[in-house]
Amino acid sequence: MKLQKFALSASLACAALSAALVAPAATAAEQFFPVLVYRTGPYAPNGVPFANGYVDYLKLVNAKGGINGVKVAYEECETGYATDKGVECYERLKGKGATVFQPLSTGITFALTEKAPNDKIPLITSGYGRADSVDGLAFKWNFPLLGTYWTGADILVQHVKKANNGNLKGKKIALVYHDSPYGKEPIPLLEELAAQEGFSLQLLPVAHPGIEQKATWLQIRQNRPDYVFLWGWGVMNSAALKEAVATGYPRDKMFGVWWSGAEPDVKDVGASAKGYSALTMQDGVDANSKIVKDVLSMVHAKGQGTGPKEEVGQVLYMRGLSAAMMAVEGVRRAQERFGKGKTMSGEQVRWGYENLDLDQKKLDALGFAGVMRPVSTSCADHMGASWARIRTWNGAKWGIASDWYQADDSVIKPLVKKSADKYLSDKKLQRRTPADCQS
């Protein structure tokens, strides 16, 4: 696999055919970020813009002088969204001074959760992964920053409940989900809410990669649920919308998770998808934000952009940008304790993510005003924030359609505790002590 220091990724239109590789492993004066991507396969339309945003931010950090003077090095590894390939990438890159891994797959996350503690390398799983890993007392190395599928499912239920004057009794909700760890993750929370709120839940799995959904939508046409929640990824999302059009299911009764609400999901459906809504995590799309202007002027204007400049500011690009920013800021936070201007180990950076404090002032200084809300983690809370809102497709572009919702801890925390305790029991592990929280 050819390595080239900060190579321009060939991600224009046919970029998914190229495995872009970049900086070599970190030297003593560099901080190394492994970058797991999927630029090929059925999930490439969604994976490519995220990867481009992630890498562009790392380039921007170097353009601004690094992390307190420490330059960033990185290397991409293609997973194709396959768990076995993700584990192979992890094993190949972990020994190069890896700072943090962002698996970009719930399946890969489950596999790496077993490896990270021994290797002392943190995992950031922003908006995906194990919902119970919010519990930092049980999952020392996992950081589901900004949200999990349980917070997302709760907020979708809050939204449709509000639309029904606070009463979902007797309503029918269908979950059309990718038949994988990703798609199955919200089910326990939705089943709990169905029991509490009195709605019925229909579970409709869709096999990888999600193109064939005719049988699924035949069931929807027969059962006629009041709402459809879409837990798809890649080609599955546009296929679902096309089937909804074909069967006459109203798009304004469809709500996707944040991985089902980006430009690639609706561009092939266009005006026919009008009214479809999806969650947006803390990854606002603001073409006038300072971070977008910085990337355009300091990276793309110098011919160093990873993909087309037209995607800068789009949904998944901005999510990749935000993910990279949090990864970098964990290093910066670690330097405050262990030495500014020094390369941080994975264990030191883990402390940084566990003590992340991105208040509004810091976000504004980083150029993320209007893009993200504050994020603050602790030993017990590895998520740091649980806000989301609804964006709606108007036939030509996405627009924000709701105020911010915050997930209901009274529902979620007991499930997190129960699931985390089971994990500890199954693995014969103990909860962290107060002393360990200071380490």
Q: What is the average per-residue pLDDT within 354-364?
A: 97
Bridge partners of residue 291, in order along the sequence: none
Instruction: Kindly indicate the confidence band of residue 5, based on its pLDDT and cuts at 50, 70 and 90.
Output: very low
pTM tops 0.85, yes or no: yes
Q: What is the average per-residue pLDDT within 15-19?
A: 37
Bridge partners of residue 75, in order along the sequence: 34
Q: How far is CA 134 from CA 105, 117, 129, 279, in A?
A: 17, 16, 10, 19
Write down the mean pLDDT value for the chain. 92
122 preceded by a cis bond (ω within 30 of 0): no
Instruction: Kindly indicate the confidence band of residue 64, based on its pLDDT and cuts at 50, 70 and 90.
Output: very high
Long-range contacts, stretch 62-65, CB < 8 angstroms, 24+ apart:
62/6, 63/298, 63/299, 63/302, 63/304, 64/298
Q: What is the average per-residue pLDDT within 146-150?
A: 97
User: Given a cut of 60, is residue 9 above it in pLDDT?
Assistant: no
Nearest to 138 by CA among 437, 432, 433, 434: 432
pLDDT of the residue at 43: 93
Nearest to 263 by CA among 308, 317, 304, 220: 317
Q: What is the C-alpha to C-alpha distance for residues 177 and 56, in angstroms, rounded to an integer? A: 31
Contacts with 359 (C-beta within 8 Å, 6 or more apart), sequence order: 374, 376
25 or 363: which carries more pLDDT confidence?
A: 363
Q: What is the C-alpha to C-alpha distance for residues 35 and 50, in angstroms, rounded to an integer? A: 11
pLDDT of the residue at 347: 97
CATH number of 150-280+388-407: 3.40.50.2300
User: Given a cut of 50, is residue 3 above it in pLDDT?
Assistant: no
E strand or H helix that includes residue 202: strand 200-206
- Reduced to 3 states, what is the DSSP secondary structure of residue 308? coil
Q: What is the C-alpha to C-alpha distance for residues 343 and 29, in angstroms, rounded to an integer? A: 7
172, 226 contact by CB (below 8 A):
yes
Q: What is the average per-residue pLDDT within 238-242?
A: 97
pLDDT of the residue at 284: 67
Percent of the chain with pLDDT over 90: 90
pLDDT digits (tens, 9 = 90+) for 153-208: 999 999 999 999 999 999 999 999 999 999 999 999 999 999 999 999 999 999 99
Helices 315-338 and 290-298 pack at an angle, to 10 degrees, of 90
pLDDT of the residue at 439: 81
Q: What is the C-alpha to C-alpha distance for residues 238 and 114, in angstroms, rounded to an integer? A: 34
User: Given a cut of 80, is residue 7 above it in pLDDT?
Assistant: no
pLDDT of the residue at 288: 83
- Torsions phi, psi for 434 (to 5 deg): -55, -35
Nearest to 180 by CA among 123, 245, 111: 111
Q: What is the average per-residue pLDDT within 5-27?
A: 40
Torsion angle, alpha carbons of 267, 271, 273, 275, to 10: 130
Q: What is the average per-residue pLDDT within 5-31?
A: 46
pLDDT of the residue at 28: 55
pLDDT of the residue at 29: 80
Q: What is the average per-residue pLDDT within 224-240?
A: 97
pLDDT digits (tens, 9 = 90+) for 94-121: 999 999 999 999 999 999 999 999 999 9
pLDDT digits (tens, 9 = 90+) for 27-57: 558 999 999 999 999 899 999 999 999 999 9
Q: What is the average per-residue pLDDT within 325-350?
A: 97
Residue intervals of the chain classified under CATH 3.40.50.2300 are 15-147+286-376+418-437, 150-280+388-407
Instruction: Kindly indicate the confidence band of residue 17, based on its pLDDT and cuts at 50, 70 and 90.
Output: very low
User: Given a cut of 80, is residue 401 above it in pLDDT?
Assistant: yes
Q: What is the C-alpha to C-alpha distance for residues 89 and 354, in angstroms, rounded to an integer? A: 25
Sole residue written with tokens 């990724």: 9
User: Given a cut of 50, is residue 339 above it in pLDDT?
Assistant: yes
pLDDT of the residue at 10: 36
pLDDT of the residue at 11: 37
Task: State how beta strands 142-143 and 123-124 pair.
Answer: parallel
Least confident of 265-279, 283-297, 348-362: 283-297
Angle at alpha carbon of residue 228, lines to 238 and 179, rounded to 5°: 65
Torsion angle, alpha carbons of 66, 47, 318, 229, to 10: -140
Percent of the chain with pLDDT over 70: 92
Q: Which two tokens stand for residue 198?
A: 């009195």
Pick the CATH number of 15-147+286-376+418-437 from 3.20.20.80, 3.90.1410.10, 3.40.50.2300, 3.90.1570.30: 3.40.50.2300
Q: Across 213-355, where does the E strand assignment appear? A: 227-231, 254-256, 277-280
pLDDT of the residue at 16: 37
pLDDT of the residue at 438: 86
